[in-house]
């Protein structure tokens, strides 16, 4: 019997079990798995597959098969419940309810079938969302009543309530029409009393651990939205604290509930009850976790449940103190409670767990910020001779705790942003900033916190840091990791002290670090200490700028480190050098006291010796660092001379290669030559990046030679790609790298140029001639995406100055690139991204030039964008949507072109946007979809089109046509939508077209309805209520338009419609 034979009365469950087993447990990619997937997909798509679910649940021995069947049923309920005959829906509902009751009739079955019951509960909740409260008004009383007949049934019923609360309050957005979601929320609020009483009854009377835990989990979901006053009017808080908080089995769920109860409330009565809540918890906690307990030491050996309790406790303390901590800032018993709670937080902050630390850090940051802001306000009042003492008192109140927090920050300081050297797919070695955003954000928050703490008590911060450092220097507490964290902390407070305090502190720190380096014997330890010295020094530019001799000594020490072969030392030296160069650049180009010339000249004269042991990437960093100094030079002539000295070595090598190539062009096929060219060009790009426009003198010196090299390499690459000449793959990669670096160098300078007109006259023509023709005529595999990237950069910088030649760029790149990417969705991914970025740049910066496109060219341009918005790569589709949005905005300023565009593409554009917006793979673009559609509807509503949209009946008003056309379009795409639905949907698009948030909400409602057939049962859509909302929105819009001179006629037309 075939399982796809739906004419048969029964399905062969054994065969179905075997197919599901192949699908989930088979060898990935095996013939059996592929066949199983094909058959099961066909089975799942059949409209009658859901009717097999009952038999499968009764006869299958496989849990996976039962889940598979329930998924079919779940999808049927979500999409077609309203169009099924009532007899079938009632039968389905009764079957699910009875199955749930049967499986949860005792605790043994409840535990054994736990996963299956969870799925059945999810199915029931979907039914409830369809039927309740209109058709199943007794749902809550039925469930509550049944719960009192059996503890096992009660446990499962409470899980159903938990799921329902999540579906209605947490996950309704985009799943339920807004009006319906609000009705469900209102209904749940109305019925909550009975559910709350059930939960309280269970907590008071039951002794079954699993039932109590489920009750607490359900209560937690409801505490998200029920009024806090309702909670305090009951005995829930004392019950939670006294009966469950001290019991290990229940304390985690209990603490989560208590954290939810600790919400802010402005009522004085509630504030007093919040205090009582905190007092009860603190008293209970002191019995569970006595002060002085070594929480940090016990953490590693603790169970997962015990560790989770500490996290929940940290969440409770931080959230409650943030909202209600002021209640405890009173001398006496309350202040003692506050200090006790803060010391618990200190204990938890010292635990070696990132999540716990982030929870406490957020609170310490908020507290330190608050104290600093109040302290700053207090100082300003004192300066104005106003007597204000409370803020100073509060600062003193927290002072002992803040000192402990400083130690927490120092001992746990996160690592600052790193720079790593990595190799790309093309074999290029590049420097990249580490993208561990979590660690970077942690460092930033800790730095801000420690800066606040330093301002609050600079002497204490200095004392703690120097004491820690002395312990390291004495050898008693030597620990490399601890030293790193300490130095990161020291570096993080740069600028937080006064100039004199900073000077004293930094001199002490450097002296101790140098002494520590002398005493260490291991080379690794010495290298680590040296790295920390350089890091700390690099973080204090104010000190360096004020002490020239020290700055010069530091830089010379860095040059010594650049010869050190120990791992990481040279990178550290280069990174610190560029950091100092950026922050102290003017010091290097000014003549300092006691010097015969600016220090930069001395650096350049010794550059060959300084950089002799550095790798290529490190040399490029050195060039960029010196470039920052040159950029700060006070005179153009000085800049020109310094640039010549900086580039002397690269230029000498460049001239040698060009001279050799003049004799024998095959020199460009030699790997050593290609490697040299890449390094020379990267050095130029690095220097150009920091120097900017003055680097033109260097660019001009080698520009024409670069273009000649570019052409020669293009020919070599083409011959290699076409097979005319046997060229090793590694050589092709090297040639591509040189070509790419030429483009990067030129675009880097143009991005920083100061005279776009001069660039257009002297640089762009020869660049276009060398690059565009070659790109257009070469084989796809020989085209480099860097061409697209570079011209994107150039257009974004030169902007409208590129108008005269942007069409040359467009003509050479558009069709040739589109032909590479339009036939599939995977090939040339870098070209895809760069192509649409380039189109966006053209639309944003050179839109005027697009007016020269013929209508056939506009058509090609339009369809390329439409293809882009449907692309599965999100960065491509998002960029294409940006192009559409930008295009529509630009068209408003070119009336003639706007009319021609809309005449050709209005309905087609709207069709494509609707098509992609209703594709589940493109839901992430809803913001763009909504904005574009709103603009398209607004254009018609305000009668901005000068031509009739209806070509067959030109007399028909455009709004009337669009209403009918849009309804017809949506009806064709989604035949299950009823006429009344379509009317409300389309009316809403017009009513909300000038209010994007409301338009987007209405659009989400439309997307929900696209997936759900309702048949003739329209009550659940609340169409009358939604129509009233639309009428109110139209009235409000009309009144607003009436206040704008010149808009009254438009408003009148709208009212007449």
pLDDT tens digit sequence for 256-311: 999 999 876 656 677 788 888 999 999 999 999 888 888 888 898 899 999 999 99
pLDDT band at 418 (very low <50, low <70, confident <90, very high): low
Question: For residue 1018, which of 973, 975, 970, 981 has the smallest C-alpha distance?
Answer: 981
- Same domain for 1027 and 1051? yes
- Mean pLDDT lowest among 179-183, 194-198, 336-340, 852-856: 179-183
Contact 188, 196 (CB under 8 A): no
**Within-domain flag for 637:** no
* Rounded mean pLDDT, 327-345: 92
| Rounded Cα–Cα distance for residues 46 and 76 (Å) | 11
Q: Helix, strand or coil for residue 419? A: strand
- Same domain for 55 and 13? yes
pLDDT at 844 over 80: yes
| Rounded Cα–Cα distance for residues 906 and 901 (Å) | 7
Taking only Cα atoms into account, the Rg of the chain, rounded to an integer number of angstroms, comes to: 36
pLDDT at 1053 over 60: no
- Same domain for 9 and 127? no
- Same domain for 100 and 182? yes
- Same domain for 72 and 108? no
What is residue 122's predicted lDDT score, i.e. its pLDDT? 95
- Same domain for 1047 and 979? yes
What is residue 115's predicted lDDT score, i.e. its pLDDT? 92
What is residue 719's predicted lDDT score, i.e. its pLDDT? 84
| Rounded Cα–Cα distance for residues 660 and 899 (Å) | 59
Determine the length of the chain.
1057
Of 226, 245, 280, which one is at a domain's C-terminal end?
A: 226
The contacts found for 526-534 with CB under 8 angstroms, 24 or more apart, are 527/564, 527/566, 527/567, 527/568, 527/569, 528/480, 528/483, 528/484, 529/483, 530/561, 530/569, 530/572, 531/568, 531/569, 531/572, 532/483, 532/484, 532/487, 534/558, 534/561, 534/572, 534/573, 534/576
* Rounded mean pLDDT, 717-726: 77
pLDDT at 936 over 90: yes
- Same domain for 93 and 217? yes
Contact 633, 642 (CB under 8 A): yes
pLDDT at 426 over 60: no
What's the half-sphere exposure (Cβ side, CA atoms, 13 Å) at 581?
26
What is residue 743's predicted lDDT score, i.e. its pLDDT? 97
**Within-domain flag for 70:** yes
- Same domain for 72 and 93? no
Question: For residue 258, which of 316, 203, 307 has the smallest C-alpha distance?
Answer: 316
* Rounded mean pLDDT, 663-667: 90
Q: Is the dihedral of CA 899, 901, 903, 906 positive or negative?
A: negative
The contacts found for 127-133 with CB under 8 angstroms, 24 or more apart, are 127/77, 127/81, 127/92, 127/93, 127/96, 128/164, 129/164, 129/167, 129/168, 129/176, 129/184, 130/77, 130/81, 130/82, 130/1020, 131/89, 131/93, 132/184, 132/187, 133/183, 133/184, 133/187
- Same domain for 67 and 128? no
Contact 546, 592 (CB under 8 A): no
Question: For residue 316, which of 256, 264, 245, 252 has the smallest C-alpha distance?
Answer: 256
- State the residue for tokens 């080698």: 702
* Rounded mean pLDDT, 90-101: 93
Tens-place pLDDT, residues 599-628? 999 999 999 999 999 999 999 999 999 999
Question: For residue 93, which of 56, 131, 55, 63 has the smallest C-alpha distance?
Answer: 131
**Within-domain flag for 165:** yes
- Same domain for 222 and 92? yes
**Within-domain flag for 778:** no
pLDDT at 398 over 60: yes
CA angle 886, 889, 894 (to 5 degrees): 120
What is residue 1051's predicted lDDT score, i.e. its pLDDT? 38
Write out the two tokens for 992: 């909300």
How far lies 1009's CA from each of 136, 172, 178, 368, 961, in Å?
Answer: 22, 13, 11, 50, 23
| Rounded Cα–Cα distance for residues 911 and 863 (Å) | 12
Question: For residue 788, which of 762, 821, 755 has the smallest C-alpha distance?
Answer: 821
Tens-place pLDDT, residues 34-63? 999 999 999 999 999 999 999 999 999 999
Residue 76 buriedness (CB in 10 A; 0-12 / 13-18 / 19+):
buried
Of 226, 247, 279, which one is at a domain's C-terminal end?
A: 226
Of 180, 211, 226, which one is at a domain's C-terminal end?
A: 226
Report the 10 Å Cβ neighbour count for 422.
Answer: 10
**Within-domain flag for 558:** no
What is residue 381's predicted lDDT score, i.e. its pLDDT? 43
pLDDT band at 433 (very low <50, low <70, confident <90, very high): low
Write out the two tokens for 714: 């293009």
* Rounded mean pLDDT, 311-329: 93
DSSP-assigned letter for residue 213:
H
**Within-domain flag for 249:** no
pLDDT band at 393 (very low <50, low <70, confident <90, very high): confident
| Rounded Cα–Cα distance for residues 277 and 281 (Å) | 6
Contact 619, 607 (CB under 8 A): no
Q: What domain count does the chain have?
A: 3
What is residue 74's predicted lDDT score, i.e. its pLDDT? 93
What is residue 737's predicted lDDT score, i.e. its pLDDT? 94
Range of the domain at 1038: 935-1056
Write out the two tokens for 721: 């790609």
- Same domain for 96 and 213? yes
Contact 748, 786 (CB under 8 A): no
- Same domain for 164 and 219? yes
DSSP-assigned letter for residue 497:
S
Q: Is the preceding peptide bond at 133 cis, omega within 30 degrees of 0?
A: yes
**Within-domain flag for 231:** no
**Within-domain flag for 437:** no
Report the predicted TM-score, pTM, of the whole model to 2 decimal places. 0.86
What is residue 266's predicted lDDT score, i.e. its pLDDT? 57
Contact 886, 843 (CB under 8 A): yes
| Percent with pLDDT over 90 in the chain | 70
């Amino acid at each position: 019997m075939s399982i796809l034979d739906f004419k048969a009365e029964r399905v062969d469950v054994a065969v179905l079990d075997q197919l599901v087993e192949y699908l989930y447990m088979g060898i990935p990619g095996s013939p059996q798995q592929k066949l199983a997937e094909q058959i099961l997909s066909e089975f799942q798509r059949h409209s009658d597959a859901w009717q097999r679910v009952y038999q499968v649940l009764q006869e299958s021995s496989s849990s996976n098969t039962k889940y598979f069947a329930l998924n079919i049923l779940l999808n049927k309920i979500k999409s077609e419940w309203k169009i099924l005959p009532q007899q079938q829906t009632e039968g389905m509902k009764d079957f699910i309810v009875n199955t749930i009751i049967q499986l949860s009739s005792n605790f043994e079955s409840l535990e054994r079938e736990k996963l299956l019951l969870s799925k059945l509960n999810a199915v029931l909740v979907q039914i409830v969302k369809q039927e309740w409260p209109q058709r199943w008004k007794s749902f809550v009383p039925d469930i509550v009543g049944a719960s009192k007949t059996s503890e096992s049934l009660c446990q499962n019923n409470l899980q159903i309530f938990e799921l329902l609360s999540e579906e209605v309050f947490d996950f309704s957005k985009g799943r339920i029409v807004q009006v319906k979601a609000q009705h469900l929320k209102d209904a749940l609020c109305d019925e909550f009393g009975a559910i709350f009483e059930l939960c309280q009854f269970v907590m008071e009377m039951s002794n079954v651990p699993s039932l109590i835990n489920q009750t607490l989990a359900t209560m937690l979901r409801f505490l998200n939205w029920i009024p806090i006053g309702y909670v305090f009017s009951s005995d829930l808080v004392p019950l939670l604290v006294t009966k469950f908080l001290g019991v290990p089995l229940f304390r985690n769920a209990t603490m989560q509930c208590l954290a939810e109860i600790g919400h802010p409330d402005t009522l004085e009565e509630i504030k007093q009850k919040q205090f009582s809540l905190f007092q009860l918890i603190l008293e209970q906690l002191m019995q569970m976790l006595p002060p002085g307990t070594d929480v940090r030491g016990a953490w590693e050996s603790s169970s997962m449940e015990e560790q989770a309790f500490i996290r929940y406790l940290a969440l409770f303390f931080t959230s409650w103190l943030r909202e209600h901590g002021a209640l405890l800032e009173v001398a006496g018993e309350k202040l003692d409670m506050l200090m006790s709670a803060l010391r618990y937080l200190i204990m938890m902050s010292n635990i070696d767990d990132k999540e716990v630390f982030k929870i406490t850090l957020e609170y310490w940051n908020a507290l330190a910020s608050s104290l600093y802001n109040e302290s700053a306000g207090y100082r300003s009042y004192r300066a104005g001779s106003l007597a204000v003492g409370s803020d100073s008192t509060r600062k003193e109140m927290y002072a002992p705790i803040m000192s402990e927090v400083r130690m927490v920050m120092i001992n746990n300081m996160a690592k600052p942003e790193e720079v790593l050297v990595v190799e790309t797919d093309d074999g290029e070695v590049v420097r990249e900033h580490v993208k561990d955003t979590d660690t970077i954000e942690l460092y930033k928050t800790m730095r801000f916190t420690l800066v606040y703490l330093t301002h609050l008590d600079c002497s204490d911060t200095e004392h703690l840091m120097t004491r820690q450092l002395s312990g390291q220097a004495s050898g008693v507490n030597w620990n490399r990791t601890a030293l790193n964290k300490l130095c990161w902390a020291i570096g993080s407070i740069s600028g937080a002290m006064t100039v004199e305090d900073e000077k004293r502190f930094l001199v002490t720190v450097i002296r101790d670090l140098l002494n520590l380096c002398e005493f260490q014997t291991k080379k690794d330890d010495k290298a680590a200490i040296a790295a920390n010295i350089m890091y700390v020094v690099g973080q204090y530019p104010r000190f360096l700028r004020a002490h020239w001799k020290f700055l010069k000594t530091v830089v010379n020490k860095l040059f010594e480190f650049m010869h050190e072969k120990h791992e990481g030392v040279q990178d550290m030296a280069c990174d610190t050098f560029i950091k100092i160069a950026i922050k102290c650049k003017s010091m290097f180009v000014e003549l300092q006291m006691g010097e015969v010339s600016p220090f930069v000249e001395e650096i350049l004269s010794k550059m060959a010796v300084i950089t002799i042991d550095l790798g290529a990437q490190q040399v490029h960093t050195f060039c960029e660092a010196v470039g920052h100094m040159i950029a700060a030079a006070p005179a153009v002539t000085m800049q020109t001379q310094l640039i010549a000295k900086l580039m002397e070595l690269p230029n000498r090598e460049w001239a040698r290669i060009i001279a050799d190539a003049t004799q024998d062009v095959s020199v460009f096929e030699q790997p050593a030559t290609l490697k040299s060219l890449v390094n020379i060009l990267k050095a130029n790009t690095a220097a150009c990046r920091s120097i900017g426009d003055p680097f033109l003198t260097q660019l001009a010196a080698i520009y024409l030679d670069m273009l000649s090299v570019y052409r020669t390499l293009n020919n070599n690459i083409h011959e290699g790609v076409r097979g005319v000449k046997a060229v090793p793959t590694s050589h092709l990669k090297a040639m591509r790298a040189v070509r790419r670096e030429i483009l990067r160098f030129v675009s880097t300078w143009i991005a920083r140029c100061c005279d776009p007109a001069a660039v257009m006259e002297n640089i762009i023509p020869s660049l276009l001639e060398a690059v565009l023709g070659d790109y257009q005529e070469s084989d796809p595999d020989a085209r480099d995406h860097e061409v697209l990237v570079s011209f994107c950069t150039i257009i974004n910088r030169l902007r409208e100055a590129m108008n005269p030649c942007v069409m040359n760029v467009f003509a050479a790149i558009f069709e040739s690139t589109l032909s590479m990417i339009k036939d599939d969705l995977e090939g040339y991914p870098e070209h895809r991204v760069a192509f649409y970025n380039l189109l966006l740049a053209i639309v944003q910066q050179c839109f005027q030039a697009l007016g020269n496109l013929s209508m056939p060219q506009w058509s090609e341009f339009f369809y390329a964008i439409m293809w882009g918005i449907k692309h599965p790569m999100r960065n491509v589709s998002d960029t294409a949507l940006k192009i559409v949005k930008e295009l529509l905005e630009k068209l408003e300023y070119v009336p003639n072109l706007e009319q021609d565009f809309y005449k050709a593409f209005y309905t087609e554009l709207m069709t494509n946007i609707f098509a992609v917006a209703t594709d589940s793979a493109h839901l992430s673009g809803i913001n763009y979809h909504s904005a574009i559609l709103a603009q398209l509807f607004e254009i018609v509503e305000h009668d901005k089109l000068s031509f009739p949209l209806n070509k067959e009946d030109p007399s028909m008003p455009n709004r009337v046509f669009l209403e009918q056309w849009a309804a017809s379009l949506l009806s064709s795409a989604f035949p299950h939508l009823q006429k009344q639905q379509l009317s409300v949907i389309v009316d809403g698009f017009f009513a909300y077209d000038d209010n994007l948030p409301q338009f987007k909400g209405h659009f989400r409602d439309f997307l929900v309805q696209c997936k759900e057939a309702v048949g003739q049962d329209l009550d659940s859509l609340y169409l009358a209520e939604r129509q009233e909302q639309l009428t109110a929105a139209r009235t409000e819009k009309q009144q607003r338009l009436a206040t704008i001179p010149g808009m009254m006629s438009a408003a009148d037309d709208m009212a007449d419609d």
